């Protein structure tokens, strides 16, 4: 349905009958449940960035660790973590993390302008979505009604 950096995005058409099918890389790295948002993010980071996450399990909301300080290493994901509303704005290829119940959502940042952040996401009817980016007192806020808790980055 779409792709970013040659990593294709799929949509399961809300058909959850095949939801429990797991996907893996050719060397056995676990991506996740077929065509869920977490599966795309892990596949993107593996295929496009050469990154294997130390913890391969968990829902989207589990990607963000609230105990990690701004700019600290999220040990479970092996990535640097930033909080929404901090002094660092998202960059292309960052993982935007939403913790809304019950499972959360993750997406890959594809484009950042002075006032928007565009993402690509899997298991949504629209693979692309644009969020407002607001800078106030040297702090960056992503989203208005739907806000991510933060983002993760390979540095």
Q: What is the full DSSP assignment across 5-36? A: TTEEE---TT-GGGTT-EEE-TT--EEEETT-
Residues 96 and 106: beta-carbon distance below 8 Å: yes
Residues 41 and 48: beta-carbon distance below 8 Å: no
CA distance 131 to 143: 5
CA distance 80 to 15: 34
Q: How far apart are the first and last CA of the chain?
A: 29
CA distance 90 to 101: 23
Q: Which domains does the chain have, with CATH numbers?
A: 2-153 (3.90.1720.10)
* pLDDT tens readout for residues 2-49: 999 999 999 876 555 555 689 999 999 999 999 999 999 999 999 999
* pLDDT tens readout for residues 87-125: 999 999 999 999 998 999 999 999 999 999 999 999 888
pLDDT band at 154; cut points 50, 70, 90: very high
**CA dihedral for 107, 111, 112, 114, sign (positive or negative):** negative
* pLDDT tens readout for residues 130-143: 999 999 999 999 99
CA distance 7 to 40: 8
pLDDT band at 61; cut points 50, 70, 90: very high
pLDDT band at 150; cut points 50, 70, 90: very high
pLDDT band at 1; cut points 50, 70, 90: confident
Token pair, residue 48, equals 């496009």
- pLDDT at residue 18 in the model: 52
């Amino acid at each position: 349905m779409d792709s970013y950096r040659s990593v294709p995005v799929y949509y399961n058409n809300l058909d959850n009958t095949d939801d429990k099918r797991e996907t893996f890389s050719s060397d056995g790295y676990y991506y996740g449940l077929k065509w869920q948002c977490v599966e795309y993010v892990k596949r993107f980071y593996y295929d496009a960035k050469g990154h294997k996450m130390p913890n391969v399990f968990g829902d989207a909301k589990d990607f963000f660790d609230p105990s990690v300080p701004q700019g600290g290493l999220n040990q479970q994901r092996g990535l640097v973590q930033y909080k929404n509303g901090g002094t660092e704005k998202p960059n292309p290829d960052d993982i935007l993390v939403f913790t809304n119940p019950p499972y959360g959502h993750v997406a890959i940042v594809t484009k950042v302008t002075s006032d928007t952040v565009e993402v690509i996401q899997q298991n949504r009817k629209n693979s692309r979505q644009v969020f407002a980016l607001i800078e106030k007192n040297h702090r960056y806020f992503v989203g208005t009604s739907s806000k991510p808790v933060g983002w993760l980055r390979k540095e």
